[in-house]
C-alpha cells in the first residue's frame, strides 16, 4: 500500500447525469485533502457542464493503465464501457478497484409493486447484470445505505470487501443566500414510477383547486419530461400561479441548489427507494422532507427531519403534515442541517472512506 500522499486516484463515470457531479466533486475533495493525485475518467459532458469543477484533470485511456499498487480506480456509476475498462485495470495493473454500488437489484416483483410496467421492470433487470459484473470485478464495494447493504447477503460476511458508507457531498449551501423565501412544497428530481410523482400531482391539484396551504406554492424541478397524461393539469396549475415548473432540461448545480434553498418541504414520499440523493441534498440546505412509510430509512425520524405520511397519500393527511411542519419548521430545519454535516459531508466520511479503500485483505 502506498502512502496517501503518493496515491493516485481515478474517478470513473462514463454515463452522464448532472446529479452525479456533486458526488464526483465531493470524492475528489476528500481524496485531495489526503494529498492524493486525483484524475477523472468520465463522459465528456461532465467536462463542459456549467458549474462543474471536473475540468483540467481528466485522464485518457492510457493514463489509468499506469496505475500502481495502492492506487485507486473508483467507479461511481457503472456502464458496459466501464466494465471493459475495469477488466483492463484488473488484468494490466495492481491498482485497487472500488465500486460505489448505488442500487443493488432486489427482485422483479419488487419493481412491479413499486409501479413499474413489465417492460421497464425487465429493462431494470437486464441493466442490473452490468452492476453485478462490476461488483464481481471490484476489490472493494461501497453500499451507500442500510437498504443497499442488506440487499447483498454476502456483504455482512466479507467486511474487508464490503462497507456501508453514506453518499458523500461537498457543502454547496454557502453559494445561496440564507435569507431566501421558503415558499415551495417541492418535487425535485427524476420523475419515476416509484417516486410517486402521480400522487404528488394529484395532491397538488387538489390543494390548488381548493385554495389551501396558502401562501405556499408548489414546485416541480426535474430533468425529466412531464408525462403526457399529466401535462394538461400541470399546465393549468402553472397558469394559476401556484406552480413553478422547471422540466425537460438538465439543471446546473446553482439552479438545483436554489430550488432546495427556496423549499419549505421537499417530497420524498416515494413508494420505494434503495437510497435517495434528494434526502441529503435537502438536509444540506436545512430543508425538511415529506416521507412515505414505504420509503422511511435510517436517515429520517418523524418530527425530527420532516413529517412521515402513510402510503394512502390522502389529501387530509398531506395537508395536516404541512400544517404540522409549520409549527416547528425552524427546529426541524436546524436538525436537517446538522444531520447533513455529521453524516453526508465528505469531511465527516473521510476517515471511514480512506481506511476502507486502503485496507488490504
Instruction: Indicate if 232 and 196 belong to the same structural domain.
Output: yes
Instruction: Indicate if 189 and 132 belong to the same structural domain.
Output: no
Instruction: Indicate if 284 and 258 belong to the same structural domain.
Output: yes
Grouping H, G, I as helix, E, B as strand and the rest as coil, residue 18 is helix
Residue with grid cell 467486511, as numbered in its chain: 159
CB atoms within 10 A of CB 143: 26
The C-alpha atoms of residue 139 and residue 73 are separated, in whole angstroms, by 10
The C-alpha atoms of residue 219 and residue 263 are separated, in whole angstroms, by 8
The C-alpha atoms of residue 244 and residue 269 are separated, in whole angstroms, by 20
Kindly give the confidence (pLDDT) of every residue in the chain, 361 residues in length, as a single tens digit, with 9 standing for 90 and above.
Answer: 445 768 999 999 999 888 889 999 999 999 999 999 999 999 988 888 888 888 767 777 677 788 999 999 999 999 999 999 999 999 999 999 999 998 887 777 777 776 778 787 788 788 889 999 999 999 999 999 998 999 998 999 899 999 999 999 999 998 777 778 999 999 999 998 889 999 999 999 999 999 999 999 999 999 999 999 999 999 999 999 999 999 999 899 899 999 999 999 999 999 988 888 999 999 999 999 999 999 999 999 999 999 999 999 999 999 999 999 999 999 999 999 999 999 999 999 999 999 999 987 5
The C-alpha atoms of residue 95 and residue 106 are separated, in whole angstroms, by 30
The C-alpha atoms of residue 273 and residue 116 are separated, in whole angstroms, by 13
- What are 286's three cell numbers? 436545512
* Integer angstrom CA distances of residue 325 from 32, 167, 298, 306, 320: 40, 26, 20, 7, 8
Phi, psi angle pair for 79, to nearest 5°: -165, 170
Instruction: Indicate if 39 and 137 belong to the same structural domain.
Output: yes
The C-alpha atoms of residue 241 and residue 249 are separated, in whole angstroms, by 21
Instruction: Indicate if 162 and 286 belong to the same structural domain.
Output: no
CATH number of the domain to which 323 belongs:
3.40.50.2000
Instruction: Indicate if 178 and 164 belong to the same structural domain.
Output: no
**217-221 and 96-100 as β-strands: parallel, antiparallel, unpaired?**
unpaired
Classify residue 49 by its DSSP letter: S
Q: Residue 176: CA atoms inside 13 Å, Cβ hemisphere, count?
A: 22
Instruction: Indicate if 202 and 78 belong to the same structural domain.
Output: no
Instruction: Indicate if 52 and 116 belong to the same structural domain.
Output: yes
User: 197 near 278, Cβ under 8 Å?
Assistant: no
The C-alpha atoms of residue 182 and residue 160 are separated, in whole angstroms, by 44
Question: Dihedral (C-alpha) 75, 138, 299, 272: value to the nearest 10 degrees?
Answer: 90
pTM: predicted TM-score of the whole model, two decimal places: 0.92
Find the radius of gyration of the CA atoms of the chain: 21
User: 278 near 257, Cβ under 8 Å?
Assistant: no
Range of the domain at 136: 4-170+345-358
In the sheet that holds 72-77, the strands lie side by side as 37-42, 8-13, 72-77, 96-100, 140-143, 162-164
The C-alpha atoms of residue 308 and residue 209 are separated, in whole angstroms, by 24
Asked if the peptide bond before residue 69 counts as cis, ω within 30 degrees of 0, the response is no
Instruction: Indicate if 222 and 159 belong to the same structural domain.
Output: no
Residues near 64 by Cβ (< 8 Å), separated by ≥ 6? 10, 39, 41, 73, 85, 89, 93, 95
What is the end-to-end Cα distance of the chain in Å, rounded?
A: 11
The C-alpha atoms of residue 23 and residue 41 are separated, in whole angstroms, by 14
For residue 216, which of 193, 191, 243, 195 has the smallest C-alpha distance? 243
Instruction: Indicate if 22 and 159 belong to the same structural domain.
Output: yes
Instruction: Indicate if 189 and 280 belong to the same structural domain.
Output: yes
Counted domains in the chain: 2
Instruction: Indicate if 43 and 135 belong to the same structural domain.
Output: yes
Amino acid at each position: 500500500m502506498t502512502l496517501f500522499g503518493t496515491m493516485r486516484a481515478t474517478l470513473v463515470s462514463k454515463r452522464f447525469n448532472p446529479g452525479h457531479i456533486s458526488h464526483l466533486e465531493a470524492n475528489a475533495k476528500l481524496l485531495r485533502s489526503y494529498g492524493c493525485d486525483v484524475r477523472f475518467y468520465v463522459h465528456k459532458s461532465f467536462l463542459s457542464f456549467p458549474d462543474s469543477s471536473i475540468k483540467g484533470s481528466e485522464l485518457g485511456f492510457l493514463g489509468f493503465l499506469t496505475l500502481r499498487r495502492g492506487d485507486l480506480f473508483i467507479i461511481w456509476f457503472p456502464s458496459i464501457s466501464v466494465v471493459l475498462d475495469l477488466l483492463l485495470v484488473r488484468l494490466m495493473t495492481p491498482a485497487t478497484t472500488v465500486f460505489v454500488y448505488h442500487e443493488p437489484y432486489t427482485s422483479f416483483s419488487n419493481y412491479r409493486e413499486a409501479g413499474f410496467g413489465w417492460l421497464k421492470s425487465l429493462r431494470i433487470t437486464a441493466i442490473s447484470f452490468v452492476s453485478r459484473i462490476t461488483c464481481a470485478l471490484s476489490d472493494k464495494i461501497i453500499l451507500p445505505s442500510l437498504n443497499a447493504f442488506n440487499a447483498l447477503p454476502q456483504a455482512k460476511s466479507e467486511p474487508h470487501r464490503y462497507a456501508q458508507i453514506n453518499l458523500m457531498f461537498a457543502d454547496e449551501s454557502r453559494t445561496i443566500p440564507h435569507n431566501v423565501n421558503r415558499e415551495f412544497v417541492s418535487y425535485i428530481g427524476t420523475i419515476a414510477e416509484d417516486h410517486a410523482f402521480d400522487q404528488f400531482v394529484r395532491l397538488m391539484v387538489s390543494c390548488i383547486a381548493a385554495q389551501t396551504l396558502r401562501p405556499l406554492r408548489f414546485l416541480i424541478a426535474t430533468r425529466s419530461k412531464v408525462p403526457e397524461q399529466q401535462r394538461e393539469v400541470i399546465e393549468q396549475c402553472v397558469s394559476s400561479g401556484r406552480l413553478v415548473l422547471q422540466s425537460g432540461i438538465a439543471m446546473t448545480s446553482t439552479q438545483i441548489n436554489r430550488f432546495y434553498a427556496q423549499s419549505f418541504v421537499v417530497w420524498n414520499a416515494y413508494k420505494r427507494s434503495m437510497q435517495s440523493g434528494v434526502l441529503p441534498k435537502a438536509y444540506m440546505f436545512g430543508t425538511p422532507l415529506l416521507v412515505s412509510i414505504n420509503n422511511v430509512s435510517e436517515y429520517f425520524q418523524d418530527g425530527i427531519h420532516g413529517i412521515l405520511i402513510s402510503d394512502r397519500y390522502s389529501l387530509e393527511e398531506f395537508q395536516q403534515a404541512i400544517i404540522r411542519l409549520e409549527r416547528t419548521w425552524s427546529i426541524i430545519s436546524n436538525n436537517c442541517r446538522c444531520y447533513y454535516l455529521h453524516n453526508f459531508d465528505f469531511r465527516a466520511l473521510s476517515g471511514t472512506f480512506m481506511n476502507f479503500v486502503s485496507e488490504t485483505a
